[in-house]
A and B are shown apart, each in its own frame.
Chain A
Amino acid sequence: MTDPVEHCVNDIFEMISFRIGEQEFCVDIMAVREIRGWAPATPLPQTPSYMRGVINLRGAVLPILDLAARLELPSSEPSARSVIIVIDAGGRLVGLLVDAVSDILSVSRDAIQPPPDIACDPVRNFIRGLMSVDGRMISQIAVERILPEVETLAA
């Protein structure tokens, strides 16, 4: 693990922001291992619909999670422009399928607000905070919660 002190100097977080449809999201850059283009995944039987299957990441089997489906947003078939963000979620690698990566943001801790309490499970479960950058609203994904077994544990 990277030293948290070094990482949030003056409480500044670096985030990678990406798009799913119209909405913008971000994840802490420290959780991101790599970003790669879409490759056809091998589907897994009897798994939730947001699991796209698994791909070969240099010898490791990487599950691909369709973040749009996970957040219950309209999900479309991945195209050549789709992107997989490989993140480390509590020691496990998982690939997040998103539409496009947009930016690297520096956000101070104060700028992150808790998500407003709207009666919507995906938001409550998977959005850690909101931030406003150049007038755009960006939601921070709680990466440790998006894998399916964590959800069952919490339930």
Chain B
Amino acid sequence: MDEMEAIKATFFQECEELLADLEVGLLAMQAGPADGETVNAVFRAVHSIKGGAGAFGFEGLVRFAHVFETLMDGLRSGKIEQSSDLVAALLRAADLLADLVEAARGGAEAEDDRTGAMAAELQVLIEGGESAGSMSAPAAGEAAGELDAPFSFQPLGASSPCEAEAPFTPLAVLPLDGPAGDAGPVAWSIAFRPRASLFHNGNEPALILRELERLGPATITLDASSVPPLASLDPEASWLSWEILLTASCEETEIREVFEFVDGDCDLSISRAGEDAPAEADTDAAFAALLASIQDPPAAAVDPDVAPPVMAPPVVAAPVSRPVVAKASTDPQVAAPQATIRVDPERIDRLIDLVGELVINQAMLAQRVMESGLSPSSAVSVGLDDLEQLTREIQESVMAIRAQPVKSVFQRMPRLVRETAAMTGKQVRLVTDGENTEVDKTVIERLAEPITHMIRNAIDHGLETPEARIAAGKNPEGMVRLAALHRGGRIVIEVADDGAGINRRKVLAIATDRDLVAADAQLSDEEIDNLIFLPGFSTATQVSDVSGRGVGMDVVRRSIQALGGRISIASRPGEGSTFTLSLPLTLAVLDGMVIDVAGHTMVAPLSAIVESLRPKPEDVRRLGPTGMVLAVRDTHVPLLDIGCVLGFRTEAPPASDRVVLLVEAEDGSRAALVADGIHGQRQVVIKSLEANYRQVPGIAAATILGDGRVALILDVDAVMTLRPPGASRAAESTLIAAE
């Protein structure tokens, strides 16, 4: 990947974040009249996308983003009134913007009718808003003029720095009798020196300076003195800086907000140039002196007294009655985004692999030391204990690096809800909860699909039409609640709707119709609900565009199970259904029970084991020709020899002198698995078998034990279904009868 491609990749990555911010902001606006900061955030997101897109020459994207931005700007300045229709249009525009970004990422310039229509719609809103709205903002006239002007965007870096000089030399001469605000205008002295990274990130100083002018009249002076001769000019470097004298009745934070985009990409110093100017004559004089000095760029560049370029506190020539307020550009108070770094996920994966190796090695070492017969109080053993602790801490820390909030998945859902609602003609409100719940990245990546499916399902099958809801005395707007939480070392995702609940009669009829259950079967409500997870089941009588894509809940269930998770459903007629899925927090390690099976060491996932016991001979009973059951307290569960099921041996030795693991499958059914011995519990690093081989029936994955050998991790559910066909039916009916 060449450098340009790398930057482009970063741009698209940022676009994802910006689009997410955009969505969050718009949703906040949808919830009610938003404060200025929210509107600003939306504006900034669109603006940044436009800026980046311009740098890469995505014309269609730029054009559309520009219209969007103009509308947001109108909203921001109060020229356009916020209304629910407007926000709805903005949300659709945001979806389209996301599509355009996606198209640009794919290398296409999507300039279709949809874009044109949406742009036209936004344009109407802009014009409608402007003629009707108040023209209160100081920059209103200018902004309106800007709209009419044909829009063009120059890719950054294309123009030479010298060319840029012309537009920015004093843009406006400071009128001392500027508009008086409530607090009275204050003269601010701002030194702004972009770093090269500012340009690399696709920012445009001109836009920032123009933005600054909206706060009040500004005198902007370009300092081009450090531009080297053309021959030695590094076009990638930053050579220009500006000094701005701004008279505005605003707080320092407002000025900083203008520079918020480029925080960290420039040297910025903001200070008050004087007291509440221009009230007193002496400050006026000071002000004039200051003005004079900074309008003389060469002098300004060397004069340490006047607005030093970086962050030394400024000293104003005239006496001032109180200390000058000066803040460093890296002021942590001013909405500084939390410092984060981007790391290639491959590096983290590598680190996790290495730590996995470390854990294995440490275990190996511990085993060797134990075998050598050293006393547990010997220096070596004590040191080894410390090592073990450290290793575990390192492992946890490394895992924490990969942990991410589920937000990234949840953020995709509002759009899905909007689209599905539009497609089904239903009114839906999405409520999310616990979006900061953290889970391993590998799990997050695989959450999106099942959640998407469950939400589609909830809207398509769960919620009623607005008419039906009104008839049932409910709010016509249905609610879908998406929540995430940690419970018992797992992450739980709930998708709940307040629809009609599962139509059990219909479900049963369909299941009987399709021979999924016997016609005379007596099933509990819960069992009926769970029928929807059966392969080949779909309640929609006609295959709808929304959820009937040939992918049923059985596929969702299987994909969840493949991750070591469970999915269940709870439903109340008339009140709605709740799908609950629980997943391990990480797919990298597993708490397991190390067992012996027919001479092989294996690992059974601890999460599936209810208890382990040594069966009494009288509790083991024959059932049918080959079936065996174990009496556990008052119930009988099928007794399965792991070695036989996996095909390691054909004849199982008597169960009574061995160990039984009472396990529970995802669907709640239980079985007693017979192992030859138990070695204890251990956290093991999960190694994929599929990476170099393929899935093996009955085996979930592999791991590496302390002795360096590979041990297989049992797939408990699969082992239970792998059981010889003759024994299963009888044992199952016993199980049901006993329960």
Contacts and interface: CB of A to CB of B under 8 A. Distances in A.
A46 B710 contact: no
Interface residues of B, number: 27
Contacts of A54: 689, 693, 702, 710
A98 interface: no
A54 B353 CA distance: 18
Given A56-B704, A60-B691, A61-B688, A45 B353 contact: no
Contacts of A51: 693
A56 B692 contact: no
Given A59-B353, A59-B356, A60-B687, A44 B696 contact: yes
B633 interface: no
A61 B694 CA distance: 11
Given A54-B702, A56-B709, A56-B710, A46 B697 contact: yes
A55 B699 contact: no
B727 interface: no
A61 B702 contact: yes
A41 B709 CA distance: 8
Given A43-B648, A45-B647, A46-B646, A61 B709 contact: no
Interface in A23-57: 40-47, 51, 53-56
Interface string B347-361: 000000100110010
Interface string A88-111: 000011100000000000000000
Interface in A55-74: 55-56, 58-63
A117 interface: no
A148 interface: yes
B694 A149 contact: yes
Interface in A101-155: 147-149
A45 B691 contact: no
Nearest to B687: A61
Interface in B705-722: 708-712
B600 interface: yes
A54 B712 CA distance: 9
A40 B600 CA distance: 12
Contact of A60 (B601, B692, B694, B697): B692
A89 to B, nearest CB: 9
B278 interface: no
A43 B600 contact: yes
B698 A61 contact: no
A55 B709 CA distance: 7
B710 A61 contact: yes
B679 to A, nearest CB: 15
A106 to B, nearest CB: 30
Contacts, number: 74
A45 B693 contact: no
A44 to B, nearest CB: 5
A45 B646 contact: yes
Contacts of A62: 692
B697 A63 contact: no
A92 B600 contact: no
A54 B708 CA distance: 12
Contacts of B704: 56, 59, 61
Interface in B622-672: 646-648
A93 to B, nearest CB: 5
A44 B696 CA distance: 7
B709 A59 contact: no
A55 B712 CA distance: 11
B697 A94 contact: no
Contacts of B698: 45-46
Nearest to A44: B696
Contacts of B712: 42, 44-45
Contacts of A45: 646-648, 696-699, 712
B478 to A, nearest CB: 45
Contacts of A42: 600-601, 702, 709-712
A40 B709 contact: yes
Nearest to B599: A43
B123 to A, nearest CB: 51
Nearest to B711: A42
Q: Which of B356, B360, B689, B709 has the most CB of A within 10 A?
A: B709
Contacts of B646: 45-46
A147 B687 CA distance: 19
Given A45-B697, A63-B693, A55 B600 contact: no
A46 B693 CA distance: 13
Given A42-B710, A59-B687, A92-B691, A47 B648 contact: no
Contact of B691 (A43, A56, A61): A61
Given A54-B693, A63-B693, A149-B694, A44 B699 contact: yes
Contacts of A93: 692
Nearest to B685: A59
A92 B693 CA distance: 7
9 contacts: A42-B600, A42-B709, A45-B646, A45-B696, A45-B712, A59-B356, A59-B704, A94-B692, A147-B693
Interface of A: 40-47, 51, 53-56, 58-63, 92-94, 147-149
Given A54-B689, A59-B353, A62-B692, 11 more contacts: A41-B710, A42-B601, A42-B711, A44-B712, A58-B357, A61-B688, A61-B692, A63-B693, A92-B691, A94-B693, A147-B693
The 9 A-B residue pairs with the shortest CB-CB distance, nearest first, are: A45-B646, A63-B693, A42-B710, A61-B702, A61-B687, A92-B692, A54-B710, A59-B357, A93-B692
Interface of B: 353, 356-357, 360, 600-601, 646-648, 687-689, 691-694, 696-699, 702, 704, 708-712
